[in-house]
Chains A and B, each alone.
Chain A
Amino acid sequence: MLLADATNYVKDVDNVMIYIVTISVIMLLGVTFTMIYFVIKYNRKKNPKGANIQGNLWLEIIWVAIPTILVLTMFYYGFSSFTILRRVPKDAMVIKVTGQMWKWSFAYPNGKKYDTLYVPQNKSIKLEMNSVDVNHSFYIPAFRIKEDVVPGRTDYLVFNAQQQGKYDVECAEYCGMHHAYMLNKVIVLPQDEFQKWVNTPAPPAAKNESPAAGNASKTQTGGQQGQKGQ
């Protein structure tokens, strides 16, 4: 479910992750194995008298300087990828997202409102997000994006989905009793299908074909959705 090309941004995040984790694993193994090697090699039985080496200025300089360079590259790499996320293309379609305890709703430029997020493929989407009660956070793990949805202000997210399909949406900022059921789906459709969908007015009592729809209301009566999974 974590596709490498779900959006044009996923690879950027994964590459930063791979870069930092690779360096980290090398450092971790280096430190751990050096430590274990010393403990074995300089065992009290083999080595009854320790050498009182007070320190070494050059070593101190080296193990400050090299990590400094490494973490600055990590900072830059993480920062430059992040700026892609904050750039809003001029032709982006704006969808308004409203968070409330414990459901999401979406409003499209043509006035259509719906309780599942449908988006066209290969089109930049800007989500403008508000909360009507407490803090929430709009999180699409497959797209590696998240932004808090805070009452009294509008925050945004940008993405451009490359692959058709259904992706999980989760609330990532604790918001009370049914926080864990504030789930939804992003459904990515080909552009023509999306146009058809968005121009069909939603039926008055919006019954939704998505399995995630109405999660919040269903689970308020005691987590039925979860019990199904047992």
Chain B
Amino acid sequence: MANHVIAENYVDFYKEKGKHTGLGAWLLTTDHKRIGIMYLVAIVTFFLVGATLGFLMRLEMLSRGRTIMDPQTYNSLFTLHGLIMIFLFIIPGIPGVFGNFFLPIMLGAKDVAFPRLNLLSWYLYISGGLFAVVSVFLKGGPIDTGWTFYVPYSIRTGTDVSWMILAAFILGLSSIITGLNFITTIHRLRAPGMGWFKMPLFAWALYATAWIQLIATPVVGITLALVAVERLIGIGLFDPSLGGDPILYQHLFWIYAHPAVYIMILPAMGVVSEIIPTFAHRTIFGYKAIAISSLAIAFVGYFVWGHHMFSSGMSDTARWIFSLTTFLVALPSGVKVFNWVATLYKGSIELGTPLLFCMAFIFLFSIGGLTGLVLGALATDIHLTDTYFVVAHFHFVVFGGGGFIFFGALHYWFPKMFGKTYNEKVSKAALGTMVIGFMLLYFTMFILGYEGMPRRYYDYLPQFATLHIVATVGSWILVGGILVMIGNLLVALKKGKKASMNPWGGRTLEWTVPSPPPVENFEEIPVITHGPYDYEYNINGDSDKMEENYH
């Protein structure tokens, strides 16, 4: 591999003169790296909007009764917070940004299989986002149904549900196309010699995710379209007063929306499987177990949707079957956690920021996963469903898991994406602050939930007041940490020192190309002769020297 030779005189993809210049170089690009950066800008923007809404909700909950807003506004805020965080941040997050930027490079390819489809996918994402934003300012007012659009309320409310459904529909299309693109890329564009089990685990995770995107997303598209039809012409599929069935809607919604949880978490698990061996400077423990557990999660994840409906009036038979399958889906996640920890055994561990993100992830995600067992058991779920316990549980999984690793991935690949290094002291302090704020905010909610605080409540009974104050204070600390973290990266973009080709000593292919990479990634397509985390084999003679340069 002679790639490091070109490191001195090459043109990175930002500076490469293409057909278009200026804004056109971005908006008309088919380069997977530029599309990845465009996703990054859009997704972080939507994350900050969603976080602001969450921050305002917590502020409202600081005291009983009205604090800063009326109930209708609060109901819209939690709906929009959920929709933005789920459809515009966490589902497209890691695949859109890091999947696009790194999947082709990690496979030894020049781009994804369908570069133009990839750009279309970004435009659909942006259009969906714009529709969602526009719907807030229309005559009916912002949607107030909760992100789940449960009928019959979503059929009866006067707010602009149909526009938001259109937005979700378009975002779903974007997700399907990205999934299709990644599946094809992984099947067709692996470098010569890269058999399935020589593929990086991030690619495995994206592969499992992409199948869920492709197969499950159409279900929610159809279901939401039917809700819109019901609103427009009263066709009577879901509304019982027209002969429809509200429980049927819940089944159809969760047939997608539960697998969607794995769309949110699997890519994050893939990132963790990359970061840990890099910072432990040793090969991953149980490569095949981690790879196959991704597929197992994706597969079993299709058969657990009913656990969202244990108190919905579903038959008792359905309740116990879904409870059983729910417990089974916990097993492959456990396998991953155990293998990650085992990868640290006898490693040579450098405590870099990305590894600390992974450790925070393992801690927070384990709490999220283990409280999932409480919710998988029928007796306890009946008590806890639709309370703050559930809110806490899914924030630990989706935010403590997926969200933290979105930013962990950003810190891991930042030197590669932008060719700059950031201040690690500040990033570590920011992460520590985020974890403390996170625990105060969300762990408190487990207790509130067990004491009987229902979710989606504008107001609360006096016995819940103290813990609500603790949670709100936690939200301030969490937001402070997030702002410092993002500020630190923005400063690094402007003033960061130049990053070397392989600052962390990684072994996967993205560390064999310059930072930032040239347009076609590789001067010559690499030939793969060894596994992705092979530390016996020195991938480029001077990688150790580069590590020294960095320190």
Contacts and interface: CB of A to CB of B under 8 A. Distances in A.
B241 A151 contact: yes
Contacts of A48: 348
A50 B346 contact: yes
Interface stretch (B123-131, B179-187, B324-332): B324-332
Contacts of A5: none
Interface in B311-353: 311-313, 316, 319-320, 323-324, 327-328, 330-331, 334-335, 337-339, 341-342, 344-351
A137 B311 contact: yes
Contacts of B376: 71, 74-75, 78
Given A54-B287, A134-B152, A168-B461, A152 B316 contact: no
Given A17-B380, A152-B240, A170-B452, A78 B323 contact: yes
Interface in A179-198: 179-181, 183
A128 interface: no
Given A78-B377, A135-B152, A42 B348 contact: yes
B460 interface: yes
A135 B155 CA distance: 12
B65 A68 contact: no
A74 B535 contact: no
B380 A176 contact: no
Nearest to A138: B311
A142 B373 contact: no
* Residue in B339, B351, B366 with the greatest tally of chain A CB atoms within 10 Å: B366
Contacts of B374: 17, 20-21, 24
Interface stretch (A56-64, A104-112, A115-123): A56-64
- Choose among A32, A79, A179, A229 the residue with the greatest number of B CB atoms under 10 Å from its CB: A179
B241 A141 contact: no
B549 to A, nearest CB: 16
A153 B320 contact: no
B497 interface: no
Contacts of B145: 174
Interface string A36-76: 10110011100111111111100110011001100110110
Contacts, number: 289
B20 interface: no
B488 interface: no
B385 A55 contact: no
Interface residues of A, number: 90
Contact of A146 (B246, B351, B370, B385): B385
Nearest to A39: B349
B513 to A, nearest CB: 24
Contacts of A71: 327-328, 330-331, 373, 376
Contacts of A219: 459
Interface in B458-517: 458-463, 465
A118 to B, nearest CB: 20
Interface string A1-12: 110000000001
B382 interface: yes
A64 B376 CA distance: 18
B386 A47 contact: no
Contact of A75 (B377, B459, B536): B377
A146 B382 contact: yes
25 contacts: A12-B379, A20-B374, A21-B374, A24-B373, A27-B370, A42-B345, A42-B347, A50-B282, A51-B282, A51-B347, A71-B327, A78-B377, A79-B320, A79-B377, A141-B387, A146-B382, A152-B240, A173-B150, A173-B386, A177-B144, A180-B458, A219-B459, A226-B64, A227-B65, A227-B66
Given A17-B450, A175-B153, 9 more contacts: A16-B377, A28-B366, A44-B281, A48-B348, A147-B382, A150-B247, A151-B240, A177-B75, A225-B65
Interface of B: 63-66, 70-72, 75, 144-146, 150, 152-153, 156-157, 240-241, 245-247, 280-283, 285-289, 311-313, 316, 319-320, 323-324, 327-328, 330-331, 334-335, 337-339, 341-342, 344-351, 355, 359, 362-363, 366-367, 370-371, 373-374, 376-383, 385-387, 450-452, 454-463, 465, 534-536
Q: Which 9 A-B pairs have the closest CB atoms?
A: A141-B452, A78-B377, A226-B65, A152-B240, A50-B282, A82-B378, A24-B370, A81-B379, A38-B344
